Amino acid sequence: MIAQLDPNGAEDTRHRILRIAFQLFHEQGYHATGVATIAREANVNPGSLYHFFESKDALLLAVLDFALDYLGPAVMDPVEQATTDPVERVFVLLQNYRQRMARESCRLGCPIGNLALEVSDGNPAARELLHKNFENWTGRVERWLTAAGDRLPRDVDRRRLARFVLTVMEGGLMQSRAAGHLGPFDEATALLRDYFSRVGVSTARSRRGRKTRHAKGKVTKR
Amino acid sequence: MIAQLDPNGAEDTRHRILRIAFQLFHEQGYHATGVATIAREANVNPGSLYHFFESKDALLLAVLDFALDYLGPAVMDPVEQATTDPVERVFVLLQNYRQRMARESCRLGCPIGNLALEVSDGNPAARELLHKNFENWTGRVERWLTAAGDRLPRDVDRRRLARFVLTVMEGGLMQSRAAGHLGPFDEATALLRDYFSRVGVSTARSRRGRKTRHAKGKVTKR
DNA sequence: GTCTATAGAGTGATAGAC
DNA sequence: GTCTATCACTCTATAGAC
């Protein structure tokens, strides 16, 4: 990654454009965000923007590349600092997404997921980078699950389970945005936790000695 | 629903616009699709389009309303004709989505899901209709699960499980579009089936006497 | 209801001085 | 690298004859 701070700690212009573009694409989508708006919000002139990126399309690719580096410091590292329990990290991660959604009144959702549905079809290079972002995300979760060792049954495929976590999260975020409340997301994460339990993942909860009958508050009625 | 066919079986102009707009929004997204394109594809003049819909925004709402009626005949009814087994209907439904994705080389995805992520935030009326579309979908699946009677443990919340089916499907479609292949979608549906099995849903498979250890080819390694 | 024509704003992108 | 100015085009939406 190219340096983004000069010796005085000021942010690189190119980096500032990327950060703002990433944010605006997240808030408004790719097609709904004009180049002029990005330039204005980033305090640069349109001409300067086109000095760094030869087209809006090229900017999108750079943003998706930027997102690859953004994930760790902004999303995953805080989770690892919040808890050392590798299984619980999965659910702290989901709760952090929940907090963000709550803060935004169920708007925005996942920046990568949004772009995946908006620009994948007509843009192979973007599609590839979106895929890498997802793999980046699931790779990190997979490492947690692997670190959990024998707390997962040996025959559980860690990678598949990690991808399933992403599947459930994206599906839950989508429905919560349409619903306008966090109910669907909470339901989805509850059923995911139930699945973990039934698969035989020993969670912090179950290790605290609580009797797990898989059931309460998950797929089963209360 | 307003009549869409005249006595000669010709399609109503308004209905044709809605059908074409629904298709184009699905293929290209809302913002990427121009009103002029919709008019051209529907063989009407822009002026005529604005005779029926006072704005592009109003057209979107009408399309989302159109989708509510579209779901049954185009998506759900064929599933009910394909199998009478209420549990298997869930997985036939998922396989039908899979077939559509395969036919389109992992493009397009779910028309409602795409719009949910693109237009929910800035358009409360659209958000409400998108939510209704999801509820429409899950309501139908819930009816199947309810019809399955005691093949599901009594304490399983049918509605929650139906929403989870949608969650997994949307998450799987999203990742398959980014990946460019059906692997993620197939994985997601396999893990969903595994969850059904572990929850204690008796499927056509398990009723055929196959020994279910939940495991093979699902979350567990082969 | 349908047609042609076009307004007025906004779009992505470029030129060329500094 | 940054600035101003602007091009060529597309966008949504409208006017008004038929």
Query: Within 7 Å: CB of B36 and strand D?
Result: yes
The pLDDT tens digits of the residues spanning B102-148 come to 999 999 999 999 999 999 999 999 999 999 999 999 999 999 999 99
Distance CA A177, CA A180 (A): 5
pTM equals: 0.95
Q: Which amino acid is at B42?
A: A
**What percent of the residues of chain B are helix, what percent strand, and what percent coil, each to the nearest 5?**
70, 0, 30
Q: At a CB cut-off of 8 Å and minimum separation 6, what does A45 contact?
A: A39
**Residues 51-110, chain A, touching B (beta carbon < 8 A):** 107-109
pLDDT at A5: 72
Q: What is the mean pLDDT of residues A46-75?
A: 97
The candidate with the shortest Cα–Cα distance to A53, out of A38, A31, A69, is A38
Q: How confident is the model at residue A129 (pLDDT cuts 50, 70, 90)?
A: very high
Share of chain A above pLDDT 70, in %: 93
Is A29 close to B118, i.e. CB distance below 8 A? yes
Q: What is the mean pLDDT of residues A157-184?
A: 98
C-alpha distances (whole Å) from A18 to each of A33, A116, A120, A135 are 13, 18, 19, 21
Chain A nearest CA to B214, separation (Å): 9
The candidate with the shortest Cα–Cα distance to B112, out of B217, B185, B26, is B26
Assess A113–B contact: CB distance below 8 Å, yes or no: yes
Which CATH code for domain B67-215? Answer: 1.10.357.10
Nucleotide nearest A35, from its CA to each C1': C12
pLDDT at B207: 78
Instruction: Tell me which of A24, A129, A164 to substitute to probe the interface with B (most B C-beta atoms closer than 10 Å).
Output: A164
Is A134 close to B179, i.e. CB distance below 8 A? yes
Q: How confident is the model at residue A3 (pLDDT cuts 50, 70, 90)?
A: low
The pLDDT tens digits of the residues spanning A28-37 come to 999 999 999 9
The candidate with the shortest Cα–Cα distance to B29, out of A109, A23, A32, A171, is A32
pLDDT at B140: 98
